[in-house]
Amino acid sequence: MTIPIVPPRPRRLRAAASAAAASAVLLVSACGGQQEDEAPAVATIVDDERCATNEAAGTITYVTGYQYQASVSILEAIAADALGYFDSVCLDVEIQPGSGDTIGNAQLVAAGTAQFTSLGNEAEILQANTSDISVMGIATYGHVPIATLLTGPDVEELGDLEGTTLGHKGMLPAPLEAMLATEDVNLDEVEQVEVGYDPSVLPRDQVQALTAFRSNEPFLLEDMGEEFTEWRPEEYGVVGSFGVMATSPEFAEENPTVVEDFLRALSRAFEYCVVTENGEECVAYAAELSDSGYDVEHNLRVWQAESDLATGTTRENAPVGYIDLEATEAEGQTLVDAGQLDELPELEPLFEPSFLEGVHTNGEVTWPAEE
């Protein structure tokens, strides 16, 4: 597996991150009496000064990527709140459901209306900044495209899509466009139409291909008893990502301990929820926030699929959520190749890995010692 070359931190944020690391975070060994099945004896004390600094930031608003769906980068925040992890690091976090308009969410963060949000992939960080929406990626949980293409079982090769209709949710995702390009599919010969989130348009033959999220629509079609073929970009050498946590560079510079400790709580919650017997509990927390019609069983499948992808695509000895700038560059290049970006912007100011790095010591999430 390729080990990414991590460039120097942006000068402006390097100082901020150093201040966060130096601001009264004391590493200590946990007290005696630890059970054999408990976590290793590594803890972090958030002392009174750091606690006061976090509290002084006031209410921190986190906007989810889409409602209270149990996706990676969403469910951890919900669970962190319910389990009291934000309280443990002196953060007052308000969770607001997003509509699925992730670029709109990025605008809220850039404007300071919200402080954190989940984006669909790293490409959206690049697209947002190209549109003068100043946001910065601070964690990337999945290192594989979450977008997938569904067709009827009669489609034997991607070239068969020429002369048919493809349904999408606003635009053809760049990883799917790149996948089709590898098979020399002439997109001018494919009619593209915008459809909703009901995947039954595929078996009803309203479209012959459908863009989807691999952790969502395939499960829904399986539950309907429908047959389909799934085409995954990574099987054609296309790189991608999903579950990206974003903030604004200005907020990060002014509140480095808040950013680090927000990620600390999320990392702690991910570790808790990824344990099989805890997944249902974490999804139940999301269900409690939803007004009605929350499909617990389906959302549990979403969480299990995405958390498996996140852990399975995390580089050895790296924490879940690490940023791989080599892969980011390759993902950005798919946007350039697809004509969605004129050129690849400089990546260093747009992604900052140091905050998540500061959350871990020897591969373990450092955490306030229990009193």
Closest CA to 263 of 123, 116, 57, 108: 116
CA 282 → CA 119, 247, 303, distances in Å?
21, 24, 9
Helix (H, G, I), strand (E, B) or coil at 365: strand
Q: How many CA atoms lie within 13 A of 76 on its CB side?
A: 27
Helix (H, G, I), strand (E, B) or coil at 57: coil
> Would you say 83 and 269 are in contact if contact means Cβ atoms under 8 Å apart?
yes
> pLDDT tens for residues 132-149?
999 999 999 999 999 999
Provide mean pLDDT across the span 350-362: 93
Residue 169 confidence (pLDDT) above 70: yes
> Would you say 77 and 62 are in contact if contact means Cβ atoms under 8 Å apart?
yes
The confidence score (pLDDT) of residue 339 equals 86
pTM: 0.85
Largest CA distance in the chain: 69
Domain at 11-144+240-365, CATH class: alpha beta
The second-level CATH assignment, the architecture, of 147-236 is 3-Layer(aba) Sandwich (3.40)
d(CA 197, CA 193): 13
Percentage of the chain exceeding pLDDT 90: 78
Same fold, 11-144+240-365 and 147-236: yes
Q: Which helix (H) or strand (E) holds 132?
A: none
Provide mean pLDDT across the span 262-287: 96
Going from N- to C-terminal start, the domains of the chain cover: 11-144+240-365, 147-236
Residue 31 confidence (pLDDT) above 50: no
The confidence score (pLDDT) of residue 271 equals 96
The confidence score (pLDDT) of residue 370 equals 61
Q: 151: Cβ–Cβ under 8 A, 6 or more apart, which residues?
A: 161, 202, 208, 209, 210, 228, 229, 231
Q: 179: Cβ–Cβ under 8 A, 6 or more apart, which residues?
A: 149, 158, 231, 233, 236, 238
